[in-house]
Amino acid sequence: MIQAATGKSPWLLRVHHRLRSLSFAMLFVAAVLHGYDKELGAGVWGFLVLLFLVYPHWQYWRASRSRDAIQAELQSLLFDSLLLGMAAAALHFSLWISFSAAVGTLVNNAANKGWRGVLQTIPACALGALAWVALFGLHFSPHTGAVATAFCMAALTMYLLIMNNIGFVRNQQLRRVRHQLQEREAALLEVNTRLLGNLREIDGLQNQLREQANRDPLTGLYNRRYLSSTLERELSRCKREGQVLSLWLIDIDHFKAINDVHGHQVGDAVLVQLARMLAAFARAEDVVCRFGGEEFLITMPTMPLQAAIERAEQLRSQVAQSPFVSGALDLKISISIGVSVYPMHGLLVDGLIGAADSALYRAKAAGRNQVFSAVSM
């Protein structure tokens, strides 16, 4: 029979033991029906009793105690063929008994080993028969009596039906196992899909948290923490590519007075409105940050000093002309801007920001609402 998919020997050994015991017992009955009126010696009958009634149990005992029980049982199938060839010769090559024995061992070997088993079984049977003939001489009497013939036909039919039923039951078990595996696979796929969805949700939340960690909660602009890492990368890129980068430091003029006169809620509204103006004014490649309090910082890659000053003037003028509304209030504000440019005013982040801060201080000292550029190194 086909080996169990799990490789567990008890099932294979038990099935083979039952099949071997039943089929060999039926062959013994056929031998008795065939040979009761023939002159078979006591030695022949002793051999048939040992083979058909004792050997199946000894073979099971031997295989079950082997280190590799499966391999021992598969080897015993070939030994069965050899002994059945000897039994056929001992019974004078009775046609139906020899045919039944040959078909039974061929089917069993084929079920367990495929065509390799068939090719091994035929010479094994022939070798067993030749061994008996060599030891005890050739006695050829193929005629089988009617009763023995009928019994062999019935016994062979029963044996083949049992083999097919075992195969059917085993296939049913395999189908159930396959169905269970498919159900488990579907369940695992569903769990995996949920896990992937959860992972995507977690990734999204992590990205959202990272974004929130890099954003100012009031204005929504990038914060100083994000600026530090981004500006370092931008300066490294500018150094590699030989590009310039302008940096603006922006401060709202007299912002403390707005808070003192109108309250912090109005001051926050002014900060939010200015942040929106800066974000709209900046280019796609620019980075706009809330630097702290009422200060903002913009980095503008590839923008040289003169262009940076002219554009900063445009921003200053736009802010001065725009109304800042908070409820019923219509405020006018102004900004001061300090401009520095890499590498003219600094090679490092702190130096570049410091240069822009010095320029901003000069702009405020000169009366505010002005744009000043840093002094060259």
Residue 301 falls in which region: left (phi positive, over 0), alpha (psi -120 to 50) or beta:
beta
94 touches 148 (CB < 8 A): yes
Q: How far apart are alpha carbons 131 and 84 in whole angstroms?
A: 12
* From 39, 190, 241, 294, active-site residue: 294
- Pairing between strand 245-252 and 335-342? antiparallel
Cα gap 42→198, rounded to integer Å: 81
CA distances (Å), origin 307, targets 3, 339, 373: 84, 11, 11
Chain position carrying tokens 């980095």: 299
Distance, CA of 298 to chain centre: 46
Question: 246: part of which helix (H) or strand (E)?
Answer: strand 245-252
| C-alpha span between 212 and 186 (Å, rounded) | 38
DSSP 8-state symbol, 14:
H
The pairing of strands 371-373 and 335-342 is: parallel
CA angle 36-39-43, nearest 5°? 95
**And the tokens for 323?**
């109304």
Q: In what order do the strands lie in the sheet with 287-292?
A: 287-292, 295-301, 245-252, 335-342, 371-373
CA distances from 185 to 50, 105, 175, 182, 192 (A): 51, 40, 15, 5, 10
295 is catalytic: no
C-alpha distances in angstroms, 27 versus 93, 115, 155, 156, 259?
A: 13, 25, 8, 9, 112
End-to-end alpha carbon distance in the chain: 93
Residues carrying an active site annotation = 294
